[in-house]
Amino acid sequence: MSCPDSSVIYPNLDEHGELISYQRRWLDLGYRKIITKGKRVPTLLYNERSQLPGLLVLVEDFVSYMRVAEQYNCLCLWGTSFPNISDFLAKNKQFSQFIVWLDNDEQKQINSGQIAAKKICNNLDYTLSYIHRGRSFQTPDWGVHNLATEHDPKQYVDSEIRQFIEGVIHASIKQPNAS
């Protein structure tokens, strides 16, 4: 939804179509201004055509969410935090691989996007370890990865998104030792 003051409103609806929250972004101020109203509940888009059905990509904004969700299961965080990770994982057990792809704010004095991404990765990994405690295995049956790229996910075309995602997944597969 576009507004006369050069802002855009992105609604966040629940599974019944009820408004949970909305995010308003101003586009032409020369700097980024965002206001989120309502409860910050991550939005999941399950892509039945995904070549990697056990993978979930976490992004921070709605436009990145729509770009990535064209090819992969995607979760819009509506910011740089992931509240109630354990509740989310309990309801969404189909995911075993997670890629956290937040904005890379390296042009700023403090790279808040990557600081938040590392925190989310650590919290995801810790929560998954807790959920799977007591299991006897050599290697965890899940993976949590941070993807830091030069630009935000929304700025890439489909082939670039696919290249980044598959690069992370292929790099995480351990090759057998050659004897």
Q: Which residue has the higher pLDDT, 6 or 155?
A: 155
Mean pLDDT to the nearest integer, 6-35: 83
Please state which of the ranges 37-41, 114-118, 133-137 shows the lowest mean pLDDT.
Answer: 133-137
Topology, domain 42-172? Dna Topoisomerase Vi A Subunit; Chain: A, domain 2 (3.40.1360)
C-alpha 129/C-alpha 12 separation (Å) is 30
- Indicate if the pLDDT at residue 149 is higher than 80: yes
Mean pLDDT of the chain: 85
- Between 25-29, 92-96, 111-115, the lowest mean confidence (pLDDT) is in 25-29
The tens digit of pLDDT for each residue in 32-59 reads 678 889 988 898 988 888 888 999 999 9
Q: Is the pLDDT of residue 95 over 80?
A: yes
> Would you give the distance in Å from CA 55 to the centre of its chain?
11
Q: What's the pLDDT band for 135 if we cut at 50, 70, 90?
A: low
User: What does the pLDDT read at residue 98?
Assistant: 96
CA distance 67 to 16: 23
Where are the domain boundaries for CATH 3.40.1360 in the chain? Answer: 42-172
The arrangement of strands across the sheet holding 55-59 comes to 43-45, 74-76, 55-59, 97-100, 143-146
pLDDT tops 90 at residue 73 = yes
pLDDT at 167: 93
- Band of the pLDDT at 6, cuts 50, 70, 90? confident
* C-beta atoms surrounding 38 within 10 Å: 13
